[in-house]
Structure 1
Amino acid sequence: MTATHTTNPAQDFVDREPAHQITWVDPVTGAHGYLVVHTLVGGIATGGTRMRPGCTISEVGDLARGMATKTAAFGLPVGGAKGGVDFDPKDPRAFGVLTRFFTEMRPWLDGRWVTAEDLGVTQQLIDDVFAEVGLSQSFHAAISRSPQPEETLARVQAGLEVMTDDGYPLGDVIGGYGVAEACLGAAEGFGWAIPETTIAIQGVGTMGGGAAWYLHEAGARVTAVADARGTLCDPAGLDVPALLDLRDEYGEIDRTRVPAHVQQLPREAIVGIAADIFVPAAVSYAIREDNVDAVAARVVVEAANAATTWGAEDALVARGVVVVPDFIANAGAAAWAWWLLQGQVGCDPQDSFDRLSAEMRAKVAVLAERWICDRIPMRQSGFALASSNLHALEGAQIVIP
């Protein structure tokens, strides 16, 4: 994906060269790792670390740009970055590879880069590796700036251990909750009744599964979900909680226990399911020039980073299909983490849900209004918001209580 999107008014933001790019080669396995810091605000940036075979510096750069846009769009006083390692996370050597990568990145992790889980890397693995390299927690770069770092660490750890009323760690579900709120905000913005709004979701992992759960709870009709094994569809609405209970450790649904009335279709069929909203929540570039014509939804809500190539998005916009961009729709986890660091949310999960709901719906409402009134694509409006906020934030000092 290149920065030539024809509908982007904040070109200075998109075309901005990364502040730093680092390539690392593992001396043991030969695996390549990358750190791209797109922007620094107050001398610090945030962004997860992913591990997958075939990960490239171009991919990491795109994701770092997306993270910078995400933090700026939500007015967070921190820049955007991303780490990536080209290695199979299921390989038994993965822990060692990630440990050596973070050891090499130690100067950044000590004070300038806050990282967390991403594709192929769980937060538990991140924390285990941080312990191995002698760092307290993956928010270390921010916590070390606090005048009372031990108290701040204790507060952050308490927040990360909060459980929801449903019995899930808040940090595991807040991102999916934010995506659900983006969907509900889009439905509200376009005047659709929530119980009549149909939604298809690609991916039932942390993000897609969480979004499906909270959309079901809100009364929306999730009619299709897809995992690595295929697409499951029921136009009357799927029993989302029951299906999520059938997932294995890899996030795949046990087909032997799926009700007989649920249609089982190929994995790629999810893109063409007729629904009000399509949520690509699995992989980057799920909607491309070669499959964009199959999209049958009225709105695409990007739960996965870079879920739509810009060429495909231009084709969707030309057809009148609205795209809620990733840096808005999936910003929930990043925003929540920073609110937690700054002491703006605590151990009551409802406070976190309420704040994210209010901020997400308000932003989507503004983008929807600009589309309805002036046919300004949501990405264009979102980039303009991020660019304006970033210019205001760049001289800010980071305050961690």
Structure 2
Amino acid sequence: MSKSAVIDHTQRDPWSIAQEQFGIAADRLHLDPNMRAILAECQRELTVHFPVRMADGAVKVFTGYRIQHNTTRGPGKGGIRYHPSVTLNEVKALAMWMTWKCAVVGIPYGGAKGGVVCDPKMMSQQQLETLTRRYTTEIALLIGPERDIPAPDVNTNAQTMAWIMDTYSMHQGYTALAVVTGKPLSIGGSEGRNEATARGAVYTIIEAAKHLGLDLEGARVVVQGFGNAGSFSAKLMHELGGKVIGVSDTSGGIFNPRGFDPNKVDAYKRETGSVVGFPGTEKVTNAELLELDCDILIPAA
């Protein structure tokens, strides 16, 4: 294949990628054609449009999705993300991947996912609460402790889950704590939930390092993304003796070949809104960050 004919996989449709991956796995498993046809599509796809009054008094209509890929093994399980680039096909792909994740680890849940097309960085806390409660009302016909259980994802957190739980409970007429996971500890959340995604990634890195004969003490680590998963991954690798030399967020990246303390970077980001500008580091673009010379690259954007 000529260079001009090489496919840029970063621009591919997520749903087509998920279906292609499933096709490869189904071929290797010699999956029954009937089962293959069932699992190749999502069971339910809900698109909702709902109004939210913005700070200037204008009403803006937002679009949201909740997808259930397959609930044969149990209630749907999957996060809800808030991001300007959310699309129906992205959410469908993520729901399919949740089905496989739950099945692989042997827990009695199916795959689901949700999202709202919005930019939470441009919204006040009050607007985010209103958006979340309206979105919850719209998808309430699909979710529930025995039907579909949302969780935090990109740009959503324990507070978001608390709003969802409270709104759903008001519609039901009783407190339904089990409608979401990732809640605050005070209303039934689980210890360690915030860093769970990152810890799972780091456990994998530890095992991979053993296989490769890589000493994590002093290993150079680069982390793409410094949200929940990325920041905790960087902190955990730092605790293991890794040398975090580069991290990034949506505004860009930072680099120091001698390494830096990701806990201090996290504090700096909370104060300024970005990792860019952290003292003692050089600014790099998000593209340049991925090309930094390192031993371990963690894609967590």
The reply to whether residue 140 of structure 1 matches residue 156 of structure 2 is: no
Q: Which has the higher strand share?
A: 2
- The within-5 A match list for 1:242-253 is 242-248=264-270, 252-253=274-275
In the alignment, what sits opposite 1:187? 209
49, 52, 59: which one aligns with 1:25? 49
Distance 1:96 1:280, change over 3 A: same
Structure of greater relative contact order (alpha carbons < 8 Å, 6+ residues apart): 1
Which amino acid is the alignment partner of residue 36 of structure 1? Answer: I
257, 260, 266: which one aligns with 1:238? 260
* Whole-angstrom CA distance in 1 between matches of 2:23 and 2:77: 27
Which amino acid is the alignment partner of residue 241 of structure 1? Answer: N
Residue by residue over 1:334-390, the C-alpha shift from the partner in whole angstroms, topping out at 9 and shown as x without a partner, is xxxxxxxxxxxxxxxxxxxxxxxxxxxxxxxxxxxxxxxxxxxxxxxxxxxxxxxxx
The TM-score normalised by the length of structure 1 is 0.58
* Whole-angstrom CA distance in 2 between matches of 1:133 and 1:140: 8
Residue by residue over 1:284-305, the C-alpha shift from the partner in whole angstroms, topping out at 9 and shown as x without a partner, is xxxxxxxxxxxxxxxxxxxxxx
SS in 2 for 1:177: helix
The reply to whether residue 281 of structure 1 matches residue 267 of structure 2 is: no
In the alignment, what sits opposite 1:113? 148
- The within-5 A match list for 1:7-46 is 8-10=24-26, 16-26=40-50, 29-46=60-77
In the alignment, what sits opposite 2:279? 258
Kept in 1, the 8 Å contact 2:44–2:68? The answer is yes
TM-aligned CA deviation for residue 276 of structure 1: 2.1
The TM-score normalised by the length of structure 2 is 0.76
Kept in 2, the 8 Å contact 1:199–1:276? The answer is yes
Q: How many residues align?
A: 261
* Whole-angstrom CA distance in 1 between matches of 2:142 and 2:158: 18
Distance 1:270 1:248, change over 3 A: same
TM-aligned CA deviation for residue 228 of structure 1: 2.6
Kept in 1, the 8 Å contact 2:78–2:149? The answer is yes
* Whole-angstrom CA distance in 1 between matches of 2:136 and 2:267: 34
SS in 1 for 2:270: coil
Percent identity, please.
25
The reply to whether residue 101 of structure 1 matches residue 135 of structure 2 is: yes
* Whole-angstrom CA distance in 1 between matches of 2:104 and 2:273: 30
TM-aligned CA deviation for residue 6 of structure 1: 9.8
- The within-5 A match list for 1:145-164 is 157=187, 160=190, 162=191
Which amino acid is the alignment partner of residue 65 of structure 2? Answer: Y
Distance 1:141 1:123, change over 3 A: closer
Which amino acid is the alignment partner of residue 143 of structure 2? Answer: L
SS in 2 for 1:258: coil
Residue by residue over 1:271-326, the C-alpha shift from the partner in whole angstroms, topping out at 9 and shown as x without a partner, is 111222211111xxxxxxxxxxxxxxxxxxxxxxxxxxxxxxxxxxxxxxxxxxxx
* Whole-angstrom CA distance in 2 between matches of 1:88 and 1:227: 15
* Whole-angstrom CA distance in 1 between matches of 2:169 and 2:101: 30
CA RMSD of aligned residues (A): 2.9
